[in-house]
Structure 1
Amino acid sequence: MNMTAKKRDELAARQRLAFQLNPVAAGCAVLLAALAGSAFAQEAPAAAPAATQKADDKKDEAKKDDDKVQTVVVSGIRRGIEAAISIKKNSSSIVEAISAEDIGKLPDQSVAESVSRLPGVTTQRSRSSGKASDVSVRGLSPSFNGTLLNGREMASTGNARSPEFDLFPAELMGSVVIYKTPDASVVGQGLAATIDLRTVNPLDFGKRVFAANYKKSRIGIGSGLPEGKGERYSLSYIDQFADRTVGLAIGLTKYDENGGAQRKFNSWGGWTPTMPYQGKDVITPGGFGADTETGENNREGMFASLQYRPNRNFRSTLDLFYSSGYTSLKKTGLEGAVGGNSAGGYDPNGVLTNATIVNGVATAGTITNYKGVIRNHLESADDDLKTVGWKNEFKVADWDMVTDLTWSKASKLSSRYETTAGLPGNATTLDTISWTGFNGGNFTDVKYSTGLNYADRNVVKLTDVMGWSGGVSSPQAGYLAQPKIDDEVKALRLNGKTALEWGPMQSGTVGLNYTQRDKSRTGQEGRLVVKGGNPYGVAGIPGSAVETAGTTSIQVAKFDPTGSLGTIYDLADKVDADILNKLWNVKEKVTSLYAMGDLDGQMFGLSYRGNVGAQLIHTKQTGAGYVVDQAKCTGNTAATCPAKYVEQGADYWDVLPSANLSYDLGSEQVMRVGVAKVLSRANLDDMRASNNFNLSTSGPYPILTGSAGNPGLKPFKAKSFDLSYEKYFGNKGYISLAGFYKKLDTYILRVPRPFDFGPYVTPTTPLPATGPYAGKTTGLLTQPINGDGGSIHGFELAINVPFSMLTPMLDGFGVMVNHSDTDSGVELPTAGFPNVNTSSVKIPLPGLSRKVTNLRLYYEKYGFQVAAAARKRSNFLGTVSDFQDNQQLTFIKGETIVDLQASYEIPSGWLKGVSLYAQATNWNKAPFQEYTVDPNQVTNKVEYGRTYHFGVNYKF
């Protein structure tokens, strides 16, 4: 007893010291000390008999085998639900999971849609397609998630670290697990969550399985525009050979979609200028862009898994994943300034006439000198992702060892054709534009009409309409950008686990993970100039097609710009500070050492299990890019805009302690506690070394200003605490209530900060001549920096039960419903986000919807499967890609989306194994809507209509 008291005193002293050093480490120490004290009080004088130990070993093996079987999915809604519940129930951490209802069949059309139905998880729809794309967990933006494939980090085709979910066809996924609390053995963690996409393991199946699927789609139903169509094919094959020592799984999928037309309207951020009319200033619409868009999306995907297990002491698994796709978006529409000042060098100011004024607002009117720009743009991209992983599991003495090699490479070549048509720059007779129904804020409801017929090819021509690139000296009748992303990830992981007999610690794991990443953005951009050399040159618009400009009733000439380079246009390569700022290369070397102990014991009369551990991470990073002195950038060629290629970097250490405990409260009730320190690394483009600057005279005094990336940028960091209560009903259902709190220690902000441009200033660089910065090289540089954080907290309620638990009369019926309420104390300065227009100086945390609710009702019996689902999220600050391929923040209005599905599986006869199904997504035709300040004043609206899917599946 004296020795036990001494140990307790030592542990208490360590606890106090840990608390002084690190609150999260202190939390882990408190848990560990309490567990150790409980263990010392239970110390037995003698070891367990050998027979008992062998029996326990057999129980452990049986449990491991049972866990493997529970993650295997066979068929049906209930099987998918029960497999997901089993993953959640048996995890030591707080996780959410989905599992395929059948081989190659997640509950929805995409991985993103499926995970968006989980508690605390939601998605942002793509502005261009209307499909779920970016995944947010617990109110944090998608960049805060770590995304893994079979536990491995992957390359990506965008600026972010994690790959887009569109690259993972749902048919190739067996399950998805979202770690809301990490443990020390999970690499590639995210601050919000770690999303692990999992394919199947062939040796976990008891027999050969073959499944084939065909699906046909109708897209854009009820939008009032031409429909789109699509076809999807998938094939899955799983088998075992050589007395079940060799396993093989292959999955293939292919789909082709030609999206239905979408009507879009953008009010230029809700711009409402004032114009003089009859001696008074009145409010008018500022301008708009209205497009009708059609998309194409083709993808081929493949995964293969080859396993070899000659005995229980060795298993080798080779995983291959490949995804290749082509996407395109054709835009046809009209844009131009209505009121206010001109929108280009060839656009004179207009005059307001024939106006109706109500409370200072021109509810109707006509403006002269209008120059409309017909847009026929084509945005396309070819991408591919290749990932190879080789994992070996074997025993060395008392150690279970794992080696895992990963190679992943992604590339994406984009092309953005922009063409302009209308009246040439030297036109003297211009147009008029009229409107009705304007009240000062209902931008998407205003009706417009023009004096000219923009569908008449005798009137409108391909030309430099506005002089946007400088006019006569630099004509621009269009634009072509071809950026290319390349990303390569190489990783090695070594892991060892052994049994321990130290109090409640039953086993210990130590490991090392080394990841090397090299990502770059290259490419070229240039002006499209009408052939012939005339700066006011015009060319006829090919074809005879016409289109309605978005939600307006205005008809415009339509053509496909593919092939126009060389026949209609010449390309004038363009180099300027903005273009060079988007070219970069980032390299990372991350070494992670980790140790974790698995716990199993009793405390306060309650059985518990869990883990405690830590990661020690060393990061060495290098960012490269171009520095441009804009004073020396006198043109838009390489010769007239010289740039200097620079590299900078940093290296640093991080310590991430974590602990997870699951208490058995009896009657299948579990209380889970998780405490950890977590991080998310910055987006790679934020770590570029690009830098451009000039002399700004627009403020109160002259000063050097610039913008840049930050090669020394460190990760977002937070301390997290999670508490969850879960009541299970076998694997049939559960009820859970969870709360969480994250203290953000550091948040990456884009803010102006004092900076000395001395190393980049040349004798020709103009310096401030007056004011406090006269003659000085110091100024303000806007770049991402590590600033102070804030906090985020919330709760999640989930109910997932079959109604047969209430009464046998409702056998076959069930419900899945969850609700999350999240709040944040984080506010970001608008100065760092110039494209967010708001009357406030602060903006909320990007990706945060205060309230998110999901509901899924289903019925499954006698071969029939019917489900209706709805997901609702409140207003949030989202991320979209602008016309220059830059990611920008925008306020997105809350939405409710309803999906339906039904299927029937033939139970017997020669068609046994065949199932027919139908699905409808976005049944309620919810639009995508953006706003600037007031959610009731929509500034950008996209209508998608419904999508129908019809298919047949065959499995044996």
Structure 2
Amino acid sequence: MKKTQFFKPAVLTLAVSSALYSGVISAQQTENADAKDVEVIAVKGIRGSLMRAQAVKMDNSSIVEAISAEDIGKLPDSSIAESLARLPGMAGERVGGRTSGVSVRGFKEDFTGTSLNGRELIGIGDNRGVEYDLYPSEIMTGATIYKTADASLLVQGIGGTVDLQTVRPLAAQETLTLTGVYEMGGNDSDNPEFDNTGKRYALSFVEKFADDTMGIAVAVATTESPRNERKYGVWGYGENENTGAIVPSGLDTQAISRVLERDTFSGIFQWRPTDDLDIVVDALSIDYSDSGVIRGFIEPFELDEAAQNGSGVNTTGVQRAANPVLRTDPAQKDGELTTFGLNVNYHLNDEWSVTLDVADSSSEKRDLRGESYAGIARSGSDIGDGASRTRNFEMSSDGIFFTGSTGLGAFSDPSLLQLTGPQTWGGGMAALADEFTALGGSFENAQDGFLNYADFEEELTTVRLETEGLVEWGIVNKVNVGVAYSDRYKMKDNRGFFATASSFPDSEAIPSEYLYDGLADLTWAGLGQVVAYNGFAPYNDGEYTLNDAGLLEPDRLGDTFKIYEEVTSLFAKFDFETEVGGFPVMGNFGAQYVQTDQRSTGYIGIVGENFKVCDADNNNVIDADCIQDISDDYSHFLPSLNVTVEVGDNQFLRFAATKTISRARIDQMKASGFVKYDQNLNLVAIPNNQAAVDQYGTPWSKFQGNPRLRPLEANNFDISFENYFEDEGYIAVAMFYKDLVNWTRDGNLTIDFTNDETNGGANYYIPSFHNKEVIAEEGLVGPDGTFYAQGTILTPPDTGTFSFFEDGLTGSVKGAEVTAQVPLRMVTDVLDGFGVAASYTYIDAELNDGTAIPGQSDRTMSLTAYYEKNGFEVRVAATDRGEFLTYQRGGSNKIEAATRDGITQVDAQISYDFEDSGIQYLEGLRVSLQGTNLTDEKEETRDSNGIVTLRREFGPSYMLNFNYSFY
């Protein structure tokens, strides 16, 4: 059989590519390389990492990127997410100040396959995407990002595949490494019960036994990492019709402090009793807690027109009738992820082998957020004329800033505050009206807090059986065929409770035992120092009476669901080698056949005659006619072709044509939904005809997920030219085109809410609940100009919008990537040790309905400049991405869309490795100082007028790292 060597590396690169671990290059490849008479030269630091990553990129038949550590526990970042975000074509997304999500070629992590050592990896969030910051760098040895797929790559996504890698003990050097990190945030905590310092410890070791036939690798890591955030937000802006001033309709400004605590264990046992049998057992366990407080003001905003100066957005003036809600939201997010795997590889003979891989993963999380309100007095109380409660403000395109107040008292004095709800936010408790009336008050004034939480569970079992063999079938020299099965279950239980203080309908001061020493600082927003108290305390000691919101809010029950998914895959891949016109050509072709059975159960949340949700008989059990159970099945054929032509010495032209799928978002596949009714009188007073509804709106809305959604599907075409001119130097240019033949779109229907044909003719109209009386003495003028006198009963229109998800949206993604990695010694010997690595990605994406692709920025850039010599290393890295669409946790624990402005983040690191210092007892020590977000980049969202609607400031963070290898 003809043998062609396409990869012709220098001695140094070959040594690097064959060393340390088999996560990137298999153990068999490593053994083959070791068998050659090659002098192994250990290269450490960033140069060694770049060389290993380059070797992976060169020697792969697909278009890939790679990260490679010199050893277990020695990636330079605190999580794998930060390392991934600097790679070409990739962009990081910060969640709470930490890089968590990663987009690949403009596709958010939900549309990217993620695996751990080749096995599908689950997350702990609402959807399929993996939270990459969950995985500490101490347990990783690297990652390979497949931008083009082949038939054996079963974990796929339209964006690509991220394969995270842990060590294989028998292919790694023995080591015992201890890591200690001291972390400090650049901003002090604005909340007195938190600080800005943290710590991280890790122990990693690899040992071999029994004449190197057994090996074990263990990594244990614990993290305590602070985050302090300043959040400026508004409910939106509007132009005052009398003065022309643009001012917010409501305020939402908080000082946020959180601390991440994470304990991780990774254990891998490898046994190779004979040259033909290799057994690997691995386990991963991650326990984490992200707790903190969100403390600040939330309230409506009313302009004093007589005191306003300026016009448009550049104004000064006075807020009148201020009635601030000091909201203290304690937050506690706890989760656990475990995965166990078994991999058995057996060589049947010198040419054929068979592999069995079995894994089981599970995760669970509770995302808990309380709300506790305090203010001047309970809503409905006599607190004087609104003209006496004012704040002075300055308004600009950067938002609103307050410069003083009158008549509000001191929110820094707990004796002047009441533990109560200052605003009438209790409308959701209408079903309990009689109970609150019996207590001498109104349900509208009875909300003093809210306990909001969601429970998540996910389980994934995978089995893969395959055989691989060398053949002589013309140009085909290797065959890989197999079958795989996966069984997934995911659950979300969305819960909440309205909280009412024991003093209702009166109010009392905040109990002294709740108070913290010190005040919270909101002076950065012009809101002064405010009282800080334990927001969980009134829940824990019974001060609050709780009423289940799941039976009162239809959208909460309509976001509770279970998803079941079974996937069976058959695959065959054929590797080939030949020559065309004197040029060596290699690659692979093949296909997957994928059969899917999916199912979802959930509920349609509907308010009944008793004003409760799906509880017509008042027994606190969900009615049977609200339960949904929907299933479907389908199949896909996914062909793939990868071709590499060596057009010159270490110069490669690559081409790929593939079909890939990304399964629909979990939250879109749910069977659950809800019918909602807006209590706004201006919507209720709409004439009962479709023309009026089309012009003015309607109080009715219905939403439901779709368990029959098909996967997102794309035909992909890639071409890349790569020129490797140094052991740590190359330039690459790639172009890609993705023909999106199926994407999930928003569907809308106009339905009759008194006779819903999409739900068996259901009638949702309840006169005693949906009809509204005009109470104001001056009456009400409806949106069409109709006048309604006091006492008029308003009847809503019959029709409204039913929103859902459906298949059928198409589009395209076109992009180009340019990457250069250059050691500057090529320019002059004076620059020996200096180097740069840079990339630029441009993407032009378009869905046919004009919507954006979540995660897609028009541009992403990365630049790393480094110096390494004699153990001393300095690196500065900058990443930049344009504006992008994403989604986030919104009200009632549901997912909502959000647009993020572009962001540029600068990180830096300086370190010294004592190995060649001549000090014997320090030879295993490496000390580094790292800073992230050094330019204090803010996250901002602006409206169509260019005014900031949301700003998050996290500040920089610094880490002092001590890494000691005992051997």
TM tier, smaller:
0.7 to 0.9
1:459/1:751 Cα in 2 relative to 1: closer, same or farther (>3 Å)? farther
Distance 1:196 1:391 in 2: 16
Question: 1:156 deviation in Å?
Answer: 2.2
| Corresponding position of 2:716 | 720
Question: 1:455 deviation in Å?
Answer: 2.1
**How many aligned positions are there?**
860
1:892 is aligned to 2:874? no
Q: Is residue 290–residue 550 contact of structure 1 (8 Å, CA) maintained in 2?
A: no
1:920 is aligned to 2:931? yes
One-letter code aligned to 1:382: D
> Which of residues 590, 593, 601 in structure 2 aligns to 1:616?
593
Q: Is residue 391–residue 402 contact of structure 2 (8 Å, CA) maintained in 1?
A: no
| Corresponding position of 2:423 | 466
One-letter code aligned to 2:554: A
1:146 is aligned to 2:146? no
Question: 1:742 deviation in Å?
Answer: 0.4
Alignment of 1:360-379 (within 5 A): 363-379=315-331
Q: Is residue 144–residue 680 contact of structure 1 (8 Å, CA) maintained in 2?
A: yes
Question: 1:212 deviation in Å?
Answer: 0.8
> Which of residues 858, 864, 870 in structure 1 aligns to 2:872?
864
CA RMSD between the two structures: 2.9
> Which of residues 929, 944, 960 in structure 2 aligns to 1:933?
944
Question: 1:784 deviation in Å?
Answer: 1.6
| Corresponding position of 1:535 | 505
> Which of residues 928, 946, 960 in structure 2 aligns to 1:950?
960
1:504 is aligned to 2:500? no
SS of 1:166 mapped into structure 2: helix
Q: Is residue 515–residue 534 contact of structure 2 (8 Å, CA) maintained in 1?
A: no
Q: Is residue 874–residue 895 contact of structure 1 (8 Å, CA) maintained in 2?
A: yes
| Corresponding position of 2:490 | 519
Alignment of 1:757-772 (within 5 A): 757-758=756-757, 760-761=759-760, 765-766=764-765
Residues 526-565 of structure 1, C-alpha deviation per residue, up to 9 Å, x if partnerless?
0111014x23444425326422337312132211212321
> Which of residues 278, 284, 287 in structure 2 aligns to 1:315?
278
1:268 is aligned to 2:226? no
Distance 1:68 1:156 in 2: 40
Q: Is residue 796–residue 821 contact of structure 1 (8 Å, CA) maintained in 2?
A: yes
Distance 1:747 1:231 in 2: 43
> Which of residues 733, 738, 741 in structure 2 aligns to 1:742?
738
1:435 is aligned to 2:402? no
Alignment of 1:294-373 (within 5 A): 294-339=257-302, 351-356=304-309, 358-359=310-311, 363-373=315-325
SS of 2:893 mapped into structure 1: coil
How does the TM-score come out when normalised to structure 2?
A: 0.84
SS of 2:555 mapped into structure 1: helix
Question: 1:251 deviation in Å?
Answer: 0.7
SS of 2:55 mapped into structure 1: helix
Alignment of 1:218-229 (within 5 A): 218-221=184-187, 228-229=196-197
Distance 2:963 2:595 in 1: 49
Q: Is residue 224–residue 261 contact of structure 2 (8 Å, CA) maintained in 1?
A: yes
| Corresponding position of 2:830 | 809
One-letter code aligned to 1:543: L
> Which of residues 524, 531, 544 in structure 2 aligns to 1:551?
524
One-letter code aligned to 2:448: A
Q: Is residue 494–residue 893 contact of structure 2 (8 Å, CA) maintained in 1?
A: no
One-letter code aligned to 2:367: S
| Corresponding position of 2:19 | none
Distance 1:675 1:167 in 2: 33
Distance 2:121 2:344 in 1: 19
Distance 1:947 1:845 in 2: 31
**Which segment drifts farther, 548-557 or 575-584?**
548-557
> Which of residues 241, 252, 256 in structure 1 aligns to 2:209?
241
| Corresponding position of 2:177 | 211
| Corresponding position of 2:435 | none
Question: 1:595 deviation in Å?
Answer: 0.6
1:895/1:67 Cα in 2 relative to 1: closer, same or farther (>3 Å)? farther
> Which of residues 86, 103, 107 in structure 2 aligns to 1:117?
86
What percentage of residue pairs aligned between the two structures are identical?
A: 30
Question: 1:872 deviation in Å?
Answer: 1.1
Question: 1:814 deviation in Å?
Answer: 1.0
Distance 1:944 1:779 in 2: 42
Residues 613-659 of structure 1, C-alpha deviation per residue, up to 9 Å, x if partnerless?
11100000001100233354713694569542221011000111111
1:286 is aligned to 2:249? yes
SS of 1:714 mapped into structure 2: coil
1:88 is aligned to 2:57? yes
| Corresponding position of 1:824 | 845
One-letter code aligned to 2:522: A
1:531/1:594 Cα in 2 relative to 1: closer, same or farther (>3 Å)? same
> Which of residues 188, 208, 212 in structure 1 aligns to 2:155?
188
| Corresponding position of 1:634 | 611
Q: Is residue 73–residue 103 contact of structure 1 (8 Å, CA) maintained in 2?
A: no
1:497/1:779 Cα in 2 relative to 1: closer, same or farther (>3 Å)? farther
| Corresponding position of 1:680 | 662
Q: Is residue 898–residue 921 contact of structure 1 (8 Å, CA) maintained in 2?
A: yes
Question: 1:197 deviation in Å?
Answer: 0.5
1:529/1:222 Cα in 2 relative to 1: closer, same or farther (>3 Å)? closer
SS of 1:884 mapped into structure 2: helix
Distance 1:281 1:809 in 2: 63
Distance 1:636 1:433 in 2: 40
1:911 is aligned to 2:878? no
Question: 1:606 deviation in Å?
Answer: 1.4
Residues 115-171 of structure 1, C-alpha deviation per residue, up to 9 Å, x if partnerless?
111111001111x2x111111111122211111111111232111113211221111
Distance 2:825 2:313 in 1: 61
Distance 2:451 2:766 in 1: 35
Q: Is residue 655–residue 720 contact of structure 2 (8 Å, CA) maintained in 1?
A: yes
Q: Is residue 264–residue 551 contact of structure 1 (8 Å, CA) maintained in 2?
A: no
SS of 2:556 mapped into structure 1: helix
1:329/1:317 Cα in 2 relative to 1: closer, same or farther (>3 Å)? same
Residues 898-951 of structure 1, C-alpha deviation per residue, up to 9 Å, x if partnerless?
1110111112322111111111111111111112225x4222111122111112
Residues 817-848 of structure 1, C-alpha deviation per residue, up to 9 Å, x if partnerless?
111111112255xxxxxxxxxxxxx4432211
Alignment of 1:481-492 (within 5 A): 481-492=452-463
Question: 1:177 deviation in Å?
Answer: 0.7
Q: Is residue 190–residue 520 contact of structure 2 (8 Å, CA) maintained in 1?
A: no
1:365/1:201 Cα in 2 relative to 1: closer, same or farther (>3 Å)? same
Question: 1:272 deviation in Å?
Answer: 1.9
One-letter code aligned to 2:184: R
Distance 1:517 1:763 in 2: 33
In structure 1, stretches of 5+ residues that fail to align are 1-35, 37-59, 340-349, 829-841
SS of 1:461 mapped into structure 2: coil
Question: 1:174 deviation in Å?
Answer: 0.5
| Corresponding position of 2:778 | none
Alignment of 1:1-150 (within 5 A): 65-66=32-33, 75-126=44-95, 128=96, 130-150=97-117
Question: 1:894 deviation in Å?
Answer: 1.4
1:563 is aligned to 2:505? no
| Corresponding position of 1:56 | none
| Corresponding position of 2:434 | none
One-letter code aligned to 2:82: E
Question: 1:62 deviation in Å?
Answer: 6.6
Distance 2:407 2:179 in 1: 53
1:952/1:179 Cα in 2 relative to 1: closer, same or farther (>3 Å)? same
1:798 is aligned to 2:752? no
